[in-house]
A = this chain, B = another copy of it.
């Protein structure tokens, strides 16, 4: 089958090209880029030297699926004709993730160009929405933070294991900020440094609350979500805290066992989620499509503590996009995604 990539020249797009280069059934036949149009892909990205493809301004071939790695607003605008023509689309941007156009406008400060499409789009987290993804032509690939955060909390929310006061403290490598230049991603500013950012509220938060509310329409979560920048290239680790609903879980060792069993059960058939026996580390996911999740409790305070991590460019972006595409196209869900993590 044939795939096109719109805006291959960011980190998400380049990672998608890398993954698809080894996909057994999906061939990239056309890629676009804004400033790099006219160059060859391997000229811009020497690590893709095994590929041989021109970067063009527009997609120049018929495809079975299109991936867009454009930023929000630009992506919806470019994709609307394709969507209307019924082309299968996986969109990396935030444009089709939120169901409520008012929430979109609140966080992205622009009006949505096509509010009516929002309900038709599937939120592309296969572990939660596999059936919806299978039957949709428009899949909104989740943000990197939401992928880790929702997967970390879904079993607890689904099982009623917690009450509604949730805190997610997220740590991300710098590649999550993309390839565009900024003092915040300038090596000498970031290296040997850790800081919180978007302290007033990160745009990825409403995805998390939206999707967790769909799992369990009980009392609305009261979520505090704080993001930190870590001096490494790839990887997101989220540490999640919430009071146990001890009426369900009990307390102490019993609660710990209940929680672990619930998580193991929730993800028992998932190819890319591993409930670990030890706290995981981001390095264990480098280049792989896995999400590692470690649920435990703080027995001193009867709190649930869940630690989860992913490679933000794979399970948090390009790998998840391929997983979604596999589902949409009726291919094996793990096709092209079986690479183990690089270590050390």
Name which residue of chain B comes closest to A183, CB basis: B181
Name which residue of chain B comes closest to A190, CB basis: B187
A22-B232 contact in complex given A46-B284, A296-B199, C-beta closer than 8 Å: no
A: contact size bracket: 35 or more
A196-B18 contact in complex given A230-B231, A237-B228, C-beta closer than 8 Å: no
**Those of A74-109 within 8 Å (CB) of chain B:** none
**Those of A21-66 within 8 Å (CB) of chain B:** 21-22, 45-51
A301-B223 contact in complex given A47-B288, A188-B175, A344-B233, C-beta closer than 8 Å: yes
A234 sits at the interface (CB 8 A): yes
Q: Smallest CB–CB gap between A174 and chain B, Å?
A: 4
Chain B neighbourhood of A196, CB < 8 A: 237, 239, 279, 307
Q: Is the CB of A191 within 8 A of B233?
A: yes
Binds B, one of A124-132, A257-265, A335-343: A335-343
Q: Is the CB of B191 within 8 A of A222?
A: no
Contact among B11, B22, B171 for A344, CB-based, below 8 A: B11
A113 sits at the interface (CB 8 A): no
A248 sits at the interface (CB 8 A): no
Chain B neighbourhood of A50, CB < 8 A: 338, 340
Q: Is the CB of B193 within 8 A of A235?
A: yes
Chain B neighbourhood of A234, CB < 8 A: 192, 344
Q: Is the CB of B18 within 8 A of A237?
A: no
Chain B neighbourhood of A231, CB < 8 A: 187, 191, 230-232
**Those of A118-155 within 8 Å (CB) of chain B:** none
Q: Is the CB of A342 within 8 A of B22?
A: no
Residues of A with Cβ closer than 8 Å to B? 11, 14-15, 18, 21-22, 45-51, 165, 167, 169, 171, 173-175, 179, 181-183, 185-197, 199, 201, 222-224, 226, 228, 230-235, 237, 239, 241, 243, 274, 276, 278-288, 290, 292, 294, 296, 298, 300-301, 303, 305, 307, 309, 338-344
A sample of 16 more A-B contacts (CB under 8 A), given A22-B340, A47-B283, A175-B188, is A11-B188, A22-B339, A48-B340, A49-B274, A181-B181, A187-B190, A194-B232, A194-B237, A194-B282, A195-B279, A196-B239, A197-B279, A222-B300, A223-B301, A224-B241, A228-B237
